[in-house]
Copies of this chain bind each other. A is one copy, B any other.
């Protein structure tokens, strides 16, 4: 149970966490802080938060748990502003899609308070963004990856773990480095592929006819291209090395495929498509 929870950045993820914890009765009061007063007022109207914090100092002073739910590119700045304002008992956690860069920013900003920072990343989302898209069951049966380090306070870690479990999620732990390498393939790479396809089509001479002929396959592959561009720019800028590795690997795989199509290598194509189908069928069974 959390007495006072403060969400910094009340959008899809922050808003959904607030809704989930309220629905579960795991929080007594939720306040919100952010750049846009209009957005925070909307969050109050929607019943997502109880109160708008007008200063970061109030947010920090009154909260038991502070959740940073701003785009990854904004984490360093907010951590620096927050550092001198934190009380001894407050726990800070985040929901950023990249962990190495956020952990480094937290370490640099928080100093002696760094052990009370618990890095986290809920593997959940929607292609819509903003508080209006937030829902209480976004994290239900989803995984939340926590990436504590050796310094992380075990009580702080346990409280954040319990918070996510109250929101319906299952928590797992990885190192920040493993997280960033794995998510570069499982999440960041598909996002780039969908976006590139949508961008290729919109700039194509035949773009109208292509969209007229687009069926379920095209729609599924490109669905996540509708996600928040700022969030994804920040992920690219902060998980650069792992993303470049994953993208280069894919680029080489695609080059091999192009060469097989060019040569009419039916055997290679059938073997590759069969292997991919087998793996995808396995993923279906997993759910």
Contact = CB atoms under 8 A, between A and B. Distances in A.
Interface of A: 123-125, 127, 142-143, 145, 172, 174, 178, 181-183, 185-187, 189-204, 206, 209-230, 232-233, 236-237, 240, 243-244, 247-251, 253-255, 257-258, 260-262, 264, 266, 269-270, 272-281, 283-284, 286
B236 A269 contact: yes
B182 A213 contact: yes
Copy total for this chain: 2
Contacts of A237: 264, 266, 269
Nearest to A221: B190
B281 A226 contact: yes
A250 B200 contact: yes
State the majority secondary structure of interface residues on A. Answer: helix
A253 B196 contact: yes
Contact of A200 (B198, B216, B253, B260): B253
Q: Which of A198, A227, A266 has the most CB of B within 10 A?
A: A198
A203 to B, nearest CB: 8
Contact of A233 (B195, B244, B273): B273
A136 to B, nearest CB: 17
A244 B262 contact: yes
Contacts of A127: 280
A209 to B, nearest CB: 5
A261 B283 contact: no
A190 B194 CA distance: 9
A254 B197 CA distance: 9
Given A190-B218, A202-B279, 16 more contacts: A143-B213, A174-B209, A185-B201, A185-B206, A193-B221, A196-B250, A199-B272, A217-B224, A222-B283, A229-B274, A233-B270, A236-B261, A236-B264, A237-B264, A247-B254, A251-B251
Nearest to A268: B233
Contacts of A253: 196, 199-200
B199 A275 contact: yes
A253 B226 CA distance: 18
Contacts of A278: 202
A220 B218 contact: no
